[in-house]
Amino acid sequence: MRDSIIMTKYQGFGNDYLVLDANKNQLQLQGKKIALLCQRGFGLGADGVLYGPVEINGKMGMRIFNSDGSEAAISGNGVCIFAKYLMDNEYVKEKKFAIETLSGTIEVECLNARATEFRVNMGKASFLSKEIPVTGEIREVIDEPFTFKGKEYKATCLTVGNPHCILFMDQVTPEKVKELGPYVENAEEFPEKVNLQICRQIDKGNLDIEIWERGSGYTKASGTGSCAAAIAAYKKGLMENRINVNQPGGMIQIDIKDDGTIFMTGTVGYIADVSVAESFFS
Ligand SMILES: N[C@H](CCC[C@H](N)C(=O)O)C(=O)O
């Protein structure tokens, strides 16, 4: 079709992304156009856009955009999706490889022949306020009182390359995270905004979460959100080191090593190649 751009749509546990291949399309990505493209009414609909392969720090990498057009340093489902894209398009032939992101080098291992299962080394978390960031004196933000929408909550905050706020509750519902999400995401305590997960512990190996993503809003799954909820519960001494994180889109398995390194196991589904009007990029 004349004047169109080919993008490839994938989903990880219902967290859906459009991949824009930088080698096949020489174009400028603009935040507002990405936002329009991601809209589920005026555009194609997606939780974000992955742009690559591009060179980051001299290595093969990808850039990650949320559905509001903002750029994120890391996305767990995004890494699994891009890993599949690289294999599907023969950019990589090995089962183990690395993808460079703005939050560093992410090691990926493909676990099956169909390239739909991936194990990702998401690195270590930091609970230090200045690294997340969270305003106030330098401290680890664990079970700290915050007031959101006039009510006090105990929050555990951390970064896994992107910032997360975890609120442990006796009950987690989409309604609750949609009520709190926009407020917490933009609270003044978080200078770079924040991803919110509300979290219920089922037992020492299972959590339930609902997600409000910075820059994308309510999503069915989040790789970094699953890592963040799991490591926060583990840090509080609630969990064993293999944690199943249940969320609306499915269950993401998190493994925490003795040195604190976090591994996530994700699945990816190919949805479609789509021919997109060039007007979304001009
Ligand atoms: N919205 C997040 C990035 C995507 C996170 C999520 N989709 C994942 O799978 O990790 C942020 O701005 O930090």
In the reported structure, the alpha carbon of residue 3 is separated from the centroid of ligand 1 by a whole-number distance in angstroms of 31
42, with CB counted inside 10 A (0-12, 13-18, 19+), is: exposed
Q: d(Cα 100, Cα 7) in Å, to the nearest integer?
A: 21
Ligand 1 within 6 A of CB of 77: yes
- pLDDT bracket for residue 279 (50, 70, 90): confident
Q: d(Cα 30, Cα 69) in Å, to the nearest integer?
A: 7
pLDDT, one tens digit per residue, over 192-235 is 999 999 999 999 999 999 999 999 999 999 999 999 999 999 99
For the segment 145-167, the average pLDDT, to the nearest whole number, is 98
The answer on whether 76 is annotated among ligand-binding residues is yes
pLDDT at 204: 98
Strands (E), 35-103: 48-56, 59-66, 71-72, 96-101
Ligand 1 within 6 A of CB of 226: no
Q: Does residue 273 fall inside a structural domain? A: yes
The answer on whether 14 is annotated among ligand-binding residues is no
Looking at residue 119, which CATH number applies to its domain?
3.10.310.10
pLDDT at 281: 83
- Global confidence as pTM: 0.97
**Phi and psi at residue 80, in whole multiples of 5°?**
-65, -40
In the reported structure, the alpha carbon of residue 1 is separated from the centroid of ligand 1 by a whole-number distance in angstroms of 33
3-state secondary structure of 205: coil
pLDDT, one tens digit per residue, over 90-143 is 999 999 999 999 999 999 999 999 999 999 999 999 999 999 999 999 999 999
**What ipTM does this complex have?**
0.97
Q: Return the residue matching tokens 């992101």.
A: 101
The answer on whether 66 is annotated among ligand-binding residues is yes
Residues 90, 188, single domain; the answer is no
In the reported structure, the alpha carbon of residue 12 is separated from the centroid of ligand 1 by a whole-number distance in angstroms of 12
pLDDT at 4: 79
Q: Which domain holds residue 256?
A: 144-260
Ligand 1 within 6 A of CB of 15: yes
Q: Is the dihedral of CA 273, 277, 279, 282 positive or negative?
A: positive
Q: Tally the domains of the chain.
A: 2
pLDDT at 280: 85
- Computed over every residue of the chain, the mean pLDDT equals 96
For the CA of 193, the nearest atom of ligand 1: 12
Residues 172, 115, single domain; the answer is no
In the reported structure, the alpha carbon of residue 125 is separated from the centroid of ligand 1 by a whole-number distance in angstroms of 15
Residues 19, 118, single domain; the answer is yes
